[in-house]
Amino acid sequence: MGGGPPTTDRLRALPSVDRLAARVGSVTVARAVVEERRAELLAGAEDDVDLEARARARLAPSLRRVINATGVIVHTNLGRAPLAEAARAAVARAAEGYANLELDLASGARGSRHTHVEGLLRELTGAEAALAVNNCAAAVLLAVAALGRPAIVSRGQLIEIGGAFRIPEVVAQAGVPLVEVGTTNRTRLSDYERELREHPDAVILRAHPSNFRTVGFVEEVAVEQLCELGVPVIDDVGSGVLASDVEVLAGEPPVRRSIRAGAAVVCFSGDKLLGGPQAGLMAGRRDAIDAARRHPLARAVRADKLSLAALEATLALYRDPARARREIPVLAMLDAGEEELQARAERIAEVGPPARIERAVAKVGGGALPLLELEGPVVAIDGGDALAAALRAADPPIVARISEGRVTLDPRTMTDDEATLCAEVLRRLL
């Protein structure tokens, strides 16, 4: 036991469950913390522990809002796209009570949850029909399964989407044969034509390599050419670009292009460049979308009322492109000007030395535009891992980049208010 008091004395010194519960507001947590500490002492623990702090930590929510100072705009670890104010308000309204999720208010009959966003998706993409499910991987799986035919895929598009989720596995789970064509760097129209002679009942699955780029001796077939082959084309365009006037998005395929080309189903994400909640969006020909809607998997991958509320509000902002660029956080970050970023950086750096303003590049993240670098001002501070850990432990937690032993705070992925909060946290720490 070393120089500490006997275990029996330390056990007697433990607070009663009632006394600890009175301080933290939970009998259940107080009992768990006291019992946990009793077990530690019986096992020989000699350290001193603040049981009230331990109880309060257990009561704190696990999922917390953080300040993203990494400069990665669509940060998967941090929840990808932050929602616009209109989307947050829509979620609050839907969560406050009941909602007409599957009720037709005009007739009083049962309705469909899909109607809340289908009209907007059709309007914004030009598609005949549309459907929203819970993520883009589910959308691809549902599209392939619903059409139920062998899927022809270029070897250059047998990609890993993320989280070890791979295109060949999607096709396998859909229960249809996978037919590979071309090579990893070059696939020609003639490759598809040859396989279609062997598999005239097939569909073509096209997957945009959104999280990497192949350069040099490469060739791929445009969606327009694929759609002219006379079989259904499922086009997974990845990030979901609906904004046509944001210059930096030119490297990602717009949804409207694939719809105009005649793709049977176009699949894209809701929580990446579109800037909404997690969702997988499907737009295309009515017959293909109806087949997906009727498939048993559709219920397993359906979106919930809160996601649909946020998605409807986000899509509605795209009716006014200027408003979308201003109010959808992802688009605003991509479009942020030097003067705006410099003002935030100066606000953070007001804490004084060792904070200093330097230049660095931000990234889009989320498997989109992997080669794009967005240069701008950042605040760099010596301190490395120790300072980064202290920032993560702050209230609110701040997640920063570490480069060459220095902590880097990028104002591009913060709001003005978050830059002010960041400065306050740094004052406390430094």
> Domain with 372 in it: what CATH number?
3.90.1150.180
Domain-embedded: residue 305: yes
* Sheet with 280-284, side-by-side order of all strands: 129-133, 280-284, 265-269, 233-238, 203-207, 151-154, 178-181
Give tens-digit pLDDT for 213-238. Answer: 777 787 899 999 999 999 999 999 98
Pair 245, 298 in one domain: yes
Domain-embedded: residue 6: no
Q: Is the pLDDT of residue 91 over 60?
A: yes
State which of 323, 352, 381 marks the end of a domain. 323
Pair 213, 167 in one domain: yes
Domain-embedded: residue 296: yes
Angle at the Cα of 88 (from 84 to 89), degrees rounded to 5? 115
Pair 245, 364 in one domain: no
Handedness of CA 217, 222, 228, 229 (dihedral sign): positive
Give tens-digit pLDDT for 43-84. Answer: 999 899 999 999 999 999 999 999 999 999 999 999 999 999
The DSSP code for 248 is G
Domain-embedded: residue 10: no
Domain with 22, as residue range(s), is 18-59
Q: What is the pLDDT at residue 6?
A: 65
Pair 417, 288 in one domain: no
Pair 315, 376 in one domain: no
Pair 301, 396 in one domain: no
Pair 301, 338 in one domain: no
172: Cβ–Cβ under 8 A, 6 or more apart, which residues? 178
Q: What is the pLDDT at residue 371?
A: 78
- Structural domains counted in the chain: 3
Could you give the CA distance from residue 117 to residue 288 in angstroms, rounded to a whole number? 18
Q: What are the beta bridge partners of residue 235?
A: 206, 266
Q: Is the pLDDT of residue 353 over 90?
A: no
Q: What is the pLDDT at residue 430?
A: 83
* Residue 1 pLDDT grade (very low, low, confident, very high; cuts 50, 70, 90): very low
Pair 190, 115 in one domain: yes
Domain-embedded: residue 9: no
Pair 252, 368 in one domain: no
Pair 274, 188 in one domain: yes
**Chain-wide mean pLDDT for the chain?**
93
Domain-embedded: residue 12: no
Give tens-digit pLDDT for 139-156. Answer: 999 999 999 999 999 999
Pair 344, 311 in one domain: no
Instruction: Identify whether the C-beta of residue 21 lies closer than 8 Å to the C-beta of residue 30.
Output: yes
Domain-embedded: residue 229: yes
Give tens-digit pLDDT for 301-352. Answer: 999 999 999 999 999 999 999 999 999 999 999 999 999 999 999 999 998 8
Domain-embedded: residue 116: yes
State which of 323, 344, 363 marks the end of a domain. 323
The enclosing domain of 137 has a CATH number of: 3.40.640.10
Pair 92, 185 in one domain: yes
State which of 323, 345, 376 marks the end of a domain. 323
CA distances (Å), 357 to each of 172, 374, 397, 408, in order? 51, 16, 21, 10
Helices (H) and strands (E) in the chain, counts: 19, 14
